[in-house]
Amino acid sequence: MVRFPALFLRGPSRFPRLPSSLRAAALALVLLALPAAARGGDWRVSPIRLDLGRAAKTGVITVRNEADEPLRLQMTAHEWTQDAEGKDVYAESGDLVYYPKIMLLGGKEDRILRVGIRVPAAAREKAYRLFVEEIPGPRKAPGASVAIAVRFGVPIFVAPLKAEPRPEIAPVAMDNGTVLARVRNAGNAHFVIRAVTVTARNARGETVFSKEINGWYLLAGASRTYASTIPPAVCPGVVSVDVEVRTDNSTLAGRLDADRSMCPP
């Protein structure tokens, strides 16, 4: 089982573009010791996730080359789980059937990637990522630049016999001025945490601190703790902290009665 950084895009866009800013972020994660990189060709995938199961055992992904230059891609499948801290963990898997494994696209060309499942539906949802990764071409001229291997991980979910996501929030805690809110998925299918909002109020009911934290997928059986630090200047006057967790199908609320002892000395 291995962990590695990957470039993930989120959002409803039909063909999510891979902009230069995200390319730079990907490069920073995996090529920290190397000089500035040359841009690769732009490409997109649609849809940005697949839902499979008894009703749909196969699906298709369209890959589009936005550039004029040819593009080579390779595909690899990994089972997707989350550890005790809610961090994504990937392990190579043979549960998915997909074709082709190597794809060559001409300029402005679309190609179809076909995906199916070998495993039947079970009591708990199975999650995978099908990584579509650009194979950099040879350098056209000598120099210090390198090509960036842009990678997009398409989420693929194999639905259980009866999907029942069940979000829960543990009692809110605060230690040394840091608010801790643990969210758990007690169900058998994933849900998406849209945002976690922390709001602190003083004795007059006035909001003295508020912060919204971006969420992410929470797989079946996994949990993740969201933390937010209240500024020391206002922390001693905080008497209550409210935490709101917005998921793709529900809203959770937690509350803490705070006092000065929960703040930094």
How does pLDDT run across 36-86, given as a tens digit for each residue?
Answer: 222 335 899 999 999 999 889 999 999 999 999 999 999 999 999 999 999
| Segments of the chain assigned to CATH 2.60.40.10 | 20-158, 167-262
- How confident is residue 146, by pLDDT bands cut at 50, 70 and 90? low
For 141, residues 6+ apart whose C-beta sits below 8 A from its C-beta are none
How high is the pLDDT of residue 120? 81
Domain 20-158, CATH: 2.60.40.10
Q: Which helix (H) or strand (E) holds 30?
A: helix 20-30
pLDDT(141) > 60 = no
Q: Find out if CATH 2.60.40.10 is the number for domain 167-262.
A: yes
pLDDT(244) > 60 = yes
Q: Are the C-beta atoms of residues 202 and 253 closer than 8 Å to each other?
A: no
pLDDT(3) > 80 = no
Min mean pLDDT across 22-36, 118-132, 161-175 is at 22-36
Estimate to the nearest angstrom the gap between the alpha carbon of 71 and the chain centroid: 25
- How confident is residue 119, by pLDDT bands cut at 50, 70 and 90? confident
pLDDT(22) > 50 = no
Averaged confidence pLDDT in the chain: 85
pLDDT(257) > 90 = yes
Q: How far apart are alpha carbons 75 and 138 in whole angstroms?
A: 20
- How confident is residue 142, by pLDDT bands cut at 50, 70 and 90? low
Higher pLDDT, 1 or 209: 209
